[in-house]
Structure 1
């Protein structure tokens, strides 16, 4: 759901080649025998890698999925007249206060009937919880406990496993990258009600219902499927298009050629193409992925069951643009209105959150890289170069 998600996906692609290499046989044609390393050293390095993957996944799930979704549904600002004595001071204040207005035209002001003056009643404007990452985490912990940062994880895992199986089955018809993308769109759309149920779990107060009981009936599939199909399509465009563009020219076009001998100038070219690909991915993410994700989340939120309360302030009517199904309405918001009803203040808040999350994830990624590189030098020593050559040959053979 976020830019860090695409970065995680790139990292998992690299990790996949590493696992393939680790499970391959000791000898590959043309590569010679694999270097012999200490089993203890290999075990330590493997455990360190698993810990780093777990760290990156937890950061990506909490900060890259949960927080942006809450930001997409939270109302920009709430207002209320509150007696001064009930407000607990904080530093910095979590609200902005304005003295209550004086009565006009000689009409009595009920808000001030029990107070001694204007200073006793304040108009409190509560800032959104998602304006601050720390405030959001503290709010979730207060309402749903410490492990609320992983709320919906069980369903997320099962849903993605089933989706992965469907993608593998459908992709056998078109065994190429575009075929996999098409299979992903079809699988995600088929499981649209699962996606909606996961969004409901994330945005609602804790419930005693098991996650599989919160999956809506198949009759709701036509209502949510268009939003999921739009999201899945943009997700694949952001993932594939930068690679196709950058891999169609220059040095990257020849990387699969075993006879290609790159020089120093090719190193600079690869760096430039990599920067171009990253810039294109960011641009597509902002212009396509964010609007599609906001649309999906808000359409799903509009169909939240009446008995479920949201964990952050949320206007179920979207400013009067929806009519509940109980009184004859559709009970959902349209795709266009879902995006249009997302105010500019919330869009700016979401972009700031995305930037913060990306920086946090990149910092964790850099830390994990430094740790693993240092361990590799310490544990494998002089055999590290031979291992890198072997891994490159195996990965190219399985590409």
Structure 2
């Protein structure tokens, strides 16, 4: 996301520079654009980018990461006297059954009035609700808790972007960039693990760079990171390769290709295929790989750090902490298997909610930008669009 924002920012700045000078695109008429209009449009776009980034970080990274480690429904016995009778409890509960009046057990119970009635409380996971998760984070870590781990995330993303640029060189071939991304993100596995530890743990007095684990832990987390990075690129690239290998999309770069009406429907069908393939790969590959990485990293959380949501460090007895002589981490297969079906369903529901929120934000800001463009440029909007198209095509 950081790489995308930087590239779009540079492209927008270059495009605006080209629009502010007289351009000979289209019908050879110079296009004069008001700097104030450009400034307003740029400010709106900047707010849009920052807002979408904040939404994506909180709802697309922080909350799903917590969901991946939170234990399923927990149970506890609570004295009935501790529960307010004026308000119904916000949980499902089963009270201990009372014996029939006059029975032997009833007599025994009346003889021992010191033993309080107990209520079996089943607490729902915090991450079952986005609102509840935000309120929980705010209560435990303050108002800015929705951006917890941001410093570590920015450093990790920036260094990753630099390494990808170095490893891919000047090549613009997508497959080379994908390979460079896999290598770079695997090398930075400890930074990624540090970000996960910051997100899932209670607030710490340590600075973000003090949370980075020793590089000796890299062999333990590298396999899970490599798996995650590989599936990331497969989900991004494979649908484009498949849909672009046949039909109308295959000929889009051919200057002699002259599409007609039927090609429009063919492109729409191929786009739908690409969307379906992306969704399928995301559910079958990306989610399991992400869960595996997060849970393997969580199994190596230092003993002095407490998680901000309920978390079973033993993964149901499948791993032993290093402090008592265990390996101190869970394996790739067990990391996924220990993630219950109830938790998987909860995570998928969360991702659907996040997708709907993101789509709603995109639609809202698109409408705002279109309305602003009509108000700011008026009748010259068509010429401005031609100028932007010409500059984008030559770049």
- Taking the aligned partners of 2:242 and 2:158, their CA distance within structure 1 comes to 30
Which of 35, 45, 68 is the aligned partner of 2:64?
Answer: 68
Partner of 1:53: 49
Partner of 2:364: 367
Do the aligned residues in 2 keep the contact of 1:81 with 1:100 (CA within 8 Å)?
no
Note closer, same or farther for the CA distance 1:52–1:280 as it changes in structure 2 (3 Å cut).
same
> Helix, strand or coil: the match of 2:305?
coil
Partner of 1:210: 207
What is the aligned-residue RMSD (CA, Å)? 2.7
Note closer, same or farther for the CA distance 1:10–1:259 as it changes in structure 2 (3 Å cut).
farther
Partner of 1:278: 275
Shift, 1:102, TM fit: 7.8
- Taking the aligned partners of 1:290 and 1:44, their CA distance within structure 2 comes to 39
Shift, 1:243, TM fit: 1.2
Larger Rg computed on CA atoms: 2
Do the aligned residues in 2 keep the contact of 1:184 with 1:232 (CA within 8 Å)?
yes
Shift, 1:84, TM fit: 1.7
> What residue ranges of structure 2 are gaps of 5+ in the alignment?
100-104
Partner of 2:242: 245
> Helix, strand or coil: the match of 1:188?
helix
Cα deviations by residue, 1:91-136 (Å, 9 ceiling, x for unpaired): 7742111113689xx9x99xx97335xxx31011110001111111
- Taking the aligned partners of 1:101 and 1:34, their CA distance within structure 2 comes to 85
Do the aligned residues in 1 keep the contact of 2:5 with 2:49 (CA within 8 Å)?
no
Greater RCO, 1 or 2 (C-alpha within 8 Å, sep 6+): 1
- Taking the aligned partners of 1:15 and 1:263, their CA distance within structure 2 comes to 35
Cα deviations by residue, 1:269-292 (Å, 9 ceiling, x for unpaired): 222222111111111000000000
Do residues 38 (structure 1) and 34 (structure 2) align?
Answer: yes
Do the aligned residues in 1 keep the contact of 2:189 with 2:221 (CA within 8 Å)?
yes
Within 5 Å, give how 1:122-141 maps onto structure 2.
Answer: 122-141=119-138
Note closer, same or farther for the CA distance 1:168–1:89 as it changes in structure 2 (3 Å cut).
farther
Cα deviations by residue, 1:265-318 (Å, 9 ceiling, x for unpaired): 333222222211111111100000000000000000000000000000000000
Within 5 Å, give how 1:262-301 maps onto structure 2.
Answer: 262-301=259-298
Partner of 2:114: 114
How many residue pairs match? The answer is: 384
Within 5 Å, give how 1:1-399 maps onto structure 2.
Answer: 17-24=11-18, 26=21, 35-88=31-84, 93-100=89-96, 114-116=114-116, 120-172=117-169, 174-398=171-395
- Taking the aligned partners of 2:86 and 2:233, their CA distance within structure 1 comes to 45
Note closer, same or farther for the CA distance 1:243–1:16 as it changes in structure 2 (3 Å cut).
farther
Provide TM-score, normalisation by structure 1.
0.89
Note closer, same or farther for the CA distance 1:102–1:297 as it changes in structure 2 (3 Å cut).
farther
- Taking the aligned partners of 2:355 and 2:85, their CA distance within structure 1 comes to 32
- Taking the aligned partners of 1:135 and 1:91, their CA distance within structure 2 comes to 18
Do the aligned residues in 2 keep the contact of 1:129 with 1:135 (CA within 8 Å)?
yes
Shift, 1:154, TM fit: 1.0
Do the aligned residues in 2 keep the contact of 1:20 with 1:395 (CA within 8 Å)?
no
Do the aligned residues in 2 keep the contact of 1:78 with 1:125 (CA within 8 Å)?
yes
Provide TM-score, normalisation by structure 2.
0.90
- Taking the aligned partners of 1:278 and 1:92, their CA distance within structure 2 comes to 44
- Taking the aligned partners of 2:87 and 2:41, their CA distance within structure 1 comes to 45
Note closer, same or farther for the CA distance 1:153–1:34 as it changes in structure 2 (3 Å cut).
farther
Cα deviations by residue, 1:64-89 (Å, 9 ceiling, x for unpaired): 01111111000001111111222347
Shift, 1:21, TM fit: 2.7
Note closer, same or farther for the CA distance 1:209–1:229 as it changes in structure 2 (3 Å cut).
same
> Helix, strand or coil: the match of 2:115?
coil
> Helix, strand or coil: the match of 2:75?
strand
> Helix, strand or coil: the match of 1:58?
helix
Shift, 1:384, TM fit: 1.9
Do the aligned residues in 1 keep the contact of 2:319 with 2:326 (CA within 8 Å)?
yes
Partner of 2:102: none
> What residue ranges of structure 1 are gaps of 5+ in the alignment?
none
